[in-house]
């Protein structure tokens, strides 16, 4: 069995937001791949590419799937990280570092975090039996 740890409130919120963004990117990719794959298959069936165009689209889909890394948030729970961030996760990490830098400087991000923490604490107290 894989050993995991419990995420903090902010890790959970981060992972939910990242997952939603990745779902959106994944959906756009699927939306684009549908007509492109049909067009490539049509070209190949007509003898223009002998299967090359369609399988190039499939390969592009596989590469983009790895780049999106839709379920990469599970890595945050592992006690030992398996890999360093790649693909879209690199952009997410850069954005997170920028936000943390702003937070540490005590700017708008810090006051926003405090306000959200207060609201979440109140909601948590109300839901306690």
How many domains does one find in the chain? 1
The answer to whether 25 and 88 are in contact (CB under 8 A) is yes
The reply to whether 59 falls in a domain is yes
Burial of 126 (0-12, 13-18, 19+ CB in 10 A): exposed
The reply to whether 4 falls in a domain is no
The answer to whether 69 and 22 are in contact (CB under 8 A) is yes
Confidence category of residue 3, pLDDT binned at 50, 70, 90: low
| pLDDT tens, position by position, 26-82 | 999 999 999 999 999 999 999 887 879 999 999 999 999 999 999 888 776 765 555
The reply to whether 117 falls in a domain is yes
The reply to whether 108 falls in a domain is yes
Highest mean pLDDT: which range of 7-21, 58-72, 95-109: 58-72
The reply to whether 87 falls in a domain is yes
The answer to whether 37 and 44 are in contact (CB under 8 A) is no
pTM for the whole structure: 0.70
pLDDT score recorded for residue 6: 79
Host domain of residue 87: 9-122
pLDDT score recorded for residue 80: 54
The reply to whether 16 falls in a domain is yes
pLDDT score recorded for residue 48: 86
């Amino acid at each position: 069995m894989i050993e995991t740890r419990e995420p903090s409130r902010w890790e959970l919120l981060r992972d939910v937001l990242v997952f939603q963004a990745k779902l959106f990117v994944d959906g756009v990719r699927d939306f684009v791949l549908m007509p492109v794959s049909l067009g490539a298959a049509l070209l190949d069936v007509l003898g223009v590419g002998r299967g090359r165009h369609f399988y190039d689209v499939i390969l592009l889909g596989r590469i983009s799937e790895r780049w999106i890394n839709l379920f990469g948030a599970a890595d945050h729970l592992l006690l030992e990280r398996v890999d360093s961030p790649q693909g879209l996760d690199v952009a997410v990490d850069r954005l997170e570092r920028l936000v943390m830098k702003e937070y540490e400087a005590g700017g708008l991000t810090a006051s926003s975090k405090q306000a959200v923490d207060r609201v979440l604490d109140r909601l948590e107290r109300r839901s306690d039996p």
